[in-house]
Chains A and B, each alone.
Chain A
Amino acid sequence: MSAHRELGLTDSEYALIVEKLGREPNAVELAMFSLLWSEHCAYKHSRKLLRRLPTEGPRVVMGPGENAGAVDVGSGYAVAFKVESHNHPSAVEPFQGAATGVGGILRDVFAIGARPIAVLDSLRFGELDSVRSRHLLDGAVRGIGHYGNSIGVPTVGGEVYFEEPYEHNCLVNAMCVGLGKTEDMVRAAAAGVGNAVVLMGATTGRDGIGGASVLASAELGEGDDAKRPTVQVGDPFEESKVLECCLELLAKGLLVSLQDLGAAGLTSSAGEMASAGGVGIDIDVAAVPLREADMEPFEIMVSESQERMLAVVEPSKVDEVRAICDKWQTGSAQIGVVTDSGHIRILKGGEVVGDMPVEALVDGCPLYDLAPAAPAAWIYGNRATLPADADSAATLLALLAAPSIASKKWIFQQYDSIVGSRTVRRPETADAAVLQLPESGNAIAVSIDGNGRKVACEPFNGTVEAVLECAQNLACVGAEPLGLTNCLNFGNPEKPVPAWQLDRAVSGLAAACEELGVPVVGGNVSLYNEGPDGPIYPTPVVAMVGELPDPARTAASSFAKEGDAIGLLGPFAPTLHGSELAKQRGELEAGLPEPKVAAIAEACATVREAVRAGRVASAHDVSDGGLACALAECAIGAGLGCRADLQELRERGCTPEEALFGEGAGGFVLSGDPAELESLGARVIGEVGGTTIELAAGDRSLVIGLIDATEAWRSLDARAESVAEPPADA
């Protein structure tokens, strides 16, 4: 096989490189092109689609294209945030894959001058009864905890689903939220011909060579063990020092620009900085501090060694910068200089070993149109696990025990959720994480969501639902959305069905954000997520940051006290399409109704204002498992039973089963004073109290004990712990 194909470039891409260079690339140049022209770096199958997304808004400080997006939170402060995938590394080696996923996203955020204040994760694995899934879950959770706990950034929330199509291709998406002064935030563009290019942080080794092209831009398959050297190894202690060092350098105004080294290492950092600044950069690989003495120039340029940052510094300030690096006991070396050549030149001592126009390297990759085609029917398997004759009580218990619905305490208890003293709502106490910002006197709420099963049923409507789920979660804590970021996890875009899923999902994302007035300030795309049985569920993970004026005025999701009324609010129109119940019955099929975005946005505003005004005692959105599960969760969290009559939904034309277990956007379960709830437009459907959960729904009415419900909902701990030996073939 020819060298360029081995590196993931097509023949026509290679021909284009030859044309742009006017000659054949040498080994160094070919390695660099192969990475920057990979899907992971060039977004060559998704960039055209992403132009559909609305990116403007009055609170946007930084939009797509920067290391992270940022929104204004008032008083001169901005909140930066981004989500990124580390799927394939985690599938190959879950602990380091997940750990370095966290490390990478932290660097993206402090690269723009924001101090990381929170991490959230979105995880997808195969079913929990698979040994492989438990191994991957255990490793990923340990890895996330290892990095986040050690570096002193709290992990405040997240979500996880267990579904068959992720069995061979798990998803590990990590989100970081940071806070900084708006005026101090820096962009990643290199500027100032003659300025020094300084590499800071860890030394450069052979780890992660080719991660972006080999791992991230191709399907997983046989022989993935051999890819293990392409997974990087993280060191949170090193990152902690680099983080503090960079924030001190930025606070002192010593850097012109700053960029992290992630996928494709120095190649992409230097390339993107030069491209953004419209300049050239010379890099001397002989000046790069190495872990191993005999590294080739191409290895140095593509190494994905972690915990490294690249800065542009005025020559007169280099000594001061390096002194601060010394203080933090982290490395620094001047490895290059900004030029006016418009070229990236790689030198080794005095000898030029690579020379490419920045335009060709960074922006020259051809962008492809997709060839989407809708599938004729449901393309995924669906194993029935619930007996067809299960009664309503047994069904509710089975849903509460579903790993995707059950309490995730086993996971979040392994994460430090409180360091930083900002965490007003700890995991599972509210629908969104709430972090106070004493600097600006207010608070932010963060939520991350993306039910791939629904997107698989209908990519457009499923993605709209994911955005609405985020918006509803924010409303429940009294927050108004400021901005959204996303990570689009899909299968192979060169195949028609994943291409169709991606195309429709991006349109759904654009439509929902447009209608809600929430700008998309950044994003990440992870394609080629496939296993031997085909693509993963299309999984657009969306994350929203919202603002609330007073951290003391936010609602919990659980009921507050005996005797409170329970209200149902919003244009909730439950359906079994794509629901957890349909999955457990083996009845999944294509199709999902279209959510009524405008009406749901109105309900969100009502709930938000009611929470801020203290008019409700609790607020929880109706999500997986439907109204029955939502009510049970509110009851279990409070240690209080409840009674509710679901006749209201029957009047909307639902069957008893849809009223209990049907899902869909737009429903809120509130509790509090009955007159207050009614004045909000909620229908009072029941009352908090007792030791049972009693739900009236015609011939499907049910009663279960609170203790039984709690036991089912808390059952994930024991099952996840029945661990975690790697599968025999891994």
Chain B
Amino acid sequence: MIWGVLQFPGSCDERDALHACEVVGGEARLIWHEDRDLSGVDGVVVPGGFSYGDYLRAGAIARFSPAMEAVAELAAAGGPVLGICNGFQVLCEAGLLPGALLRNQELRFVCKQADLVDDQGATLSIPLKHGEGRYYAPEAMLDELEANGQVAYRYADGHNANGSVRDIAGVRNERGNVVGLMPHPEHAVDPLTGSTDGRKVFEALERFA
């Protein structure tokens, strides 16, 4: 499959995501934030970083970019969309995913390797690095997400470094084709730099392509 990786001014991890898509076996290309046309990619990664400097609120400006209009259409058509860190924040701001990301409980940026548990019960070792990664949604919405199987990833016991409600690290939309998570699977595809568990996060979306 062909992945497109969005590039906003202030993106940081777009080259890492591009590389990860290639490692997972896909083809990948960068998509400039002003491009309304996704030029035929099968899926999109909205990468980490500080799009538009995270001014106003993380992800709040990026959601209005032309490329995000195209991403919304791809999502509506059932295509795979993966939001990582700032990309997760952007997808929440765009209303493509439920909930919001707040400042970490400790009010500090945190970078560390963490264990996640996916909805199959498998444990994945994937790094996280963010200052605004505390997942929040109202209780009723959380109950609904859990009932619908929309909680894609949770922090394992003792690995919730940001105070996310119900240890939620990542969520998906109802259809399952849009996934966002705070940890960075694109930084977990090479044994030399950590682990390779991040590949599973990309692979889990391939069936929507």
Chain A residues packing against B (C-beta within 8 Å): 142, 145-146, 149-152, 235-238, 240-241, 244, 328-329, 412-424, 436, 551-552
Are A418 and B111 interface neighbours, CB within 8 A? yes
Chain B residues packing against A (C-beta within 8 Å): 9-13, 15-16, 19, 48-50, 52-55, 108-112, 127, 129, 131, 184, 186-187, 190, 192-194
Are B53 and A150 interface neighbours, CB within 8 A? yes
Tell me which of B19, B53, B109, B187 has the highest count of chain A C-beta atoms within 10 A of its own C-beta: B109
Tell me which of B48, B111, B184 has the highest count of chain A C-beta atoms within 10 A of its own C-beta: B111
Are A145 and B193 interface neighbours, CB within 8 A? no
**Min CB gap B206→A, angstroms:** 21
Contact A237-B16, Cβ < 8 Å, known A413-B112, A414-B111, A421-B190: no
Q: Which residues of chain B are near A142, meaning CB under 8 Å?
A: 108
Out of A236, A416, A422, which one reaches B129, CB within 8 Å?
A416
Report how far A236 CA is from B10 CA in the complex, Å. 9
Are B9 and A422 interface neighbours, CB within 8 A? no
Chain B residue with the shortest CB-CB distance to A416 = B129
Are B9 and A149 interface neighbours, CB within 8 A? no
Contact A237-B192, Cβ < 8 Å, known A419-B12, A419-B13, A421-B16: no
Are B187 and A418 interface neighbours, CB within 8 A? yes
Are B192 and A152 interface neighbours, CB within 8 A? no
**Min CB gap B45→A, angstroms:** 14
Are A236 and B50 interface neighbours, CB within 8 A? yes
Out of A240, A244, A436, which one reaches B192, CB within 8 Å?
A436
Are B111 and A237 interface neighbours, CB within 8 A? no
Report how far A531 CA is from B92 CA in the complex, Å. 50
Contact A235-B53, Cβ < 8 Å, known A240-B9, A419-B16: yes
Chain A residue with the shortest CB-CB distance to B186 = A421
Report how far A146 CA is from B107 CA in the complex, Å. 13
**Min CB gap A376→B, angstroms:** 47
Report how far A413 CA is from B108 CA in the complex, Å. 9
* 9 nearest CB pairs, A to B: A237-B53, A152-B12, A416-B129, A421-B16, A150-B50, A414-B109, A237-B10, A145-B109, A418-B187
Q: Which residues of chain A are near B184, meaning CB under 8 Å?
A: 418
Contact A418-B50, Cβ < 8 Å, known A152-B11, A237-B10: no
Are B193 and A418 interface neighbours, CB within 8 A? yes
Q: Which residues of chain B are near A328, meaning CB under 8 Å?
A: 9
Report how far A146 CA is from B193 CA in the complex, Å. 23
Report how far A240 CA is from B53 CA in the complex, Å. 9
Are B13 and A152 interface neighbours, CB within 8 A? yes
Out of A241, A413, A424, which one reaches B9, CB within 8 Å?
A241
Contact A552-B192, Cβ < 8 Å, known A149-B129, A240-B9: yes
Q: Which residues of chain A are near B13, meaning CB under 8 Å?
A: 152, 419
Q: Which residues of chain B are near A551, meaning CB under 8 Å?
A: 192
Report how far A413 CA is from B9 CA in the complex, Å. 25
Chain A residue with the shortest CB-CB distance to B34 = A327
Q: Which residues of chain B are near A236, meaning CB under 8 Å?
A: 50, 53
Are B193 and A414 interface neighbours, CB within 8 A? no
Report how far A420 CA is from B13 CA in the complex, Å. 7
Known: A413-B111, A423-B193. 9 other contacts (CB 8 A): A150-B50, A152-B12, A152-B50, A241-B10, A419-B13, A419-B187, A420-B15, A420-B16, A551-B192
Are A418 and B11 interface neighbours, CB within 8 A? no
Q: Which residues of chain A are near B10, meaning CB under 8 Å?
A: 150, 237, 240-241
**Min CB gap B109→A, angstroms:** 5
Are A414 and B192 interface neighbours, CB within 8 A? no
Out of B15, B52, B108, B129, which one reaches A237, CB within 8 Å?
B52
Report how far A152 CA is from B184 CA in the complex, Å. 14
Are B49 and A152 interface neighbours, CB within 8 A? yes
Q: Which residues of chain A are near B15, meaning CB under 8 Å?
A: 420-421
Contact A237-B9, Cβ < 8 Å, known A149-B109, A152-B49, A424-B192: yes
Q: Which residues of chain B are near A237, meaning CB under 8 Å?
A: 9-10, 50, 52-55
Q: Which residues of chain A are near B194, meaning CB under 8 Å?
A: 418
**Min CB gap A723→B, angstroms:** 11
**Min CB gap A671→B, angstroms:** 22
Q: Which residues of chain B are near A240, meaning CB under 8 Å?
A: 9-10, 12, 50, 53
Tell me which of A146, A151, A237 has the highest count of chain B C-beta atoms within 10 A of its own C-beta: A237
Report how far A551 CA is from B192 CA in the complex, Å. 8
Report how far A667 CA is from B19 CA in the complex, Å. 40
Out of A417, A421, A436, which one reaches B111, CB within 8 Å?
A417
23 examples of A-B residue contacts, CB within 8 angstroms: A146-B109, A149-B50, A150-B10, A150-B12, A150-B53, A236-B53, A237-B52, A240-B9, A240-B12, A413-B112, A414-B108, A414-B110, A416-B111, A416-B129, A418-B187, A419-B13, A419-B129, A421-B19, A421-B190, A422-B193, A424-B193, A436-B193, A551-B192
Chain B residue with the shortest CB-CB distance to A235 = B53
Report how far A424 CA is from B194 CA in the complex, Å. 8
**Min CB gap B182→A, angstroms:** 13
Q: Which residues of chain A are near B193, meaning CB under 8 Å?
A: 418, 421-424, 436
Q: Which residues of chain B are near A151, meaning CB under 8 Å?
A: 12
Report how far A221 CA is from B184 CA in the complex, Å. 46
Q: Which residues of chain B are near A415, meaning CB under 8 Å?
A: 109, 111
**Min CB gap A546→B, angstroms:** 18
**Min CB gap A553→B, angstroms:** 11
Are B19 and A418 interface neighbours, CB within 8 A? no
Report how far A412 CA is from B19 CA in the complex, Å. 25
Report how far A149 CA is from B184 CA in the complex, Å. 14
Tell me which of A146, A412, A418 has the highest count of chain B C-beta atoms within 10 A of its own C-beta: A418
Chain B residue with the shortest CB-CB distance to A422 = B193
Are A413 and B53 interface neighbours, CB within 8 A? no
**Min CB gap A445→B, angstroms:** 14
**Min CB gap B131→A, angstroms:** 7
Report how far A436 CA is from B54 CA in the complex, Å. 29
Chain B residue with the shortest CB-CB distance to A330 = B9
Chain B residue with the shortest CB-CB distance to A436 = B192
Chain B residue with the shortest CB-CB distance to A418 = B187
Chain B residue with the shortest CB-CB distance to A329 = B9
**Min CB gap B116→A, angstroms:** 16
Q: Which residues of chain B are near A418, meaning CB under 8 Å?
A: 111, 127, 129, 184, 187, 193-194
Report how far A387 CA is from B127 CA in the complex, Å. 43
Q: Which residues of chain A are near B127, meaning CB under 8 Å?
A: 418
Tell me which of A414, A416, A420 has the highest count of chain B C-beta atoms within 10 A of its own C-beta: A416
Report how far A150 CA is from B9 CA in the complex, Å. 11
